[in-house]
Amino acid sequence: MARRYPQDRPRVSIGLPVFNGADYLEETIDSILCQTFTDFELIICDNASTDHTGDICKRSSARDKRIVYVRQPENRGAAVNYNHTFELARGEYFKWAAHDDVLAPEYLARCVEALDGDPGCVLVHPGTVIVDKDGNPQQCYLDYLACNSEDPVRRFAKWMIPADGMCNPVFGLVRRDVMSQTCLHGEYMGADRVFLAEIALRGRVHQIKQGLFLRRVHAGMSTQAHVDFRSLDWWYTGTKTARIRFKYWRRFGEFGRMLLRVRLSMADRMKCFAILACWALRRGDRLLRELMLPVYVNGRPTALARTLGQWLPRSRLDRGKET
């Protein structure tokens, strides 16, 4: 059954998941509230922050009725928090917003105009300007996702073939009905890449050349602050485990599952799997290295390696030492 929306629903919903983002949150919220396009709602999901994030959100929601503030009872992980903002959204179009990035005043107006004027376009994102922790521009970043081809294979290849880079288009404006058909944000590293690949398969992607998205790069951002397995587990799921994460194998498998889920002709599906195979070949060293992780980590044998050592046949030299 199709979801029924109230007549007064906003055109755009912005989902802002945050955890301990007090340093930059207020500036981000102000940049959203200052948009020239005003028909939007801002949904802030606070993942049980322990700093002043809650105070900033409460002050902001008190002065602008377009803000919906929700606080999680406990840290449920970034993936759940991201997806919860989407579940609460009512708008025709949706975008995620990071707590430390800034939007130019024309951001929403230009993106809405592009989606309104092209029914076959499913995602619009502007050019990206990388800024430092103080907001000083550093460089213009080239994103690879935009593709106006009607061929889903070409759109998939446009995203998959280039080397890994930043996933700035994940913060673009998306048609909500298309986004609801995806698995949204998964609880694994690189889930945003799988999400964008599926979006590209479902429709054309347009990029506005003007740099209206200011992406802040700093030591506290998730991709730089969480690099080991336990830290990544905590960021994605809210819990720390000792499990070894096969991030490239997991991503490979999720790409494959996504290709089976999206409606494609058999010929196009086979072509996309061939592109995925090329993706895996280009990352063969990383995939092979991950296969060694259960046996040998950080130069030391793991418990699995010691167990295997007890069961594997010993060399003749070892046997000779017993005689």
Boundaries of every domain in the chain? 12-225, 229-293, 294-323
How would you write the pLDDT of the chain (323 residues) with one tens digit per residue? 334 445 578 999 999 999 999 999 999 999 999 999 999 999 999 999 999 999 999 999 999 999 999 999 999 989 999 999 999 999 999 999 999 999 999 999 999 999 999 999 999 999 999 999 999 999 999 888 888 899 999 999 999 988 778 899 999 999 999 999 999 999 888 899 999 999 999 999 999 999 999 999 977 665 555 555 566 665 666 666 656 668 899 999 999 999 999 999 999 999 999 999 999 999 999 898 888 766 555 445 555 555 555 554 544 434 443 33
Q: 44 near 188, Cβ under 8 Å? A: no
Alpha helix positions (H), 105-246? 107-116, 152-160, 176-179, 191-202, 222-225, 229-237
Q: Which residue's structure tokens are 């479902």?
A: 202
pTM: 0.85
Q: CATH top-level class for 12-225? A: alpha beta
Task: List all residues 6 or more positions away from 40 whose beta carbon is below 8 Å from its beta carbon.
Answer: 10, 11, 12, 13, 14, 32, 66, 91, 108
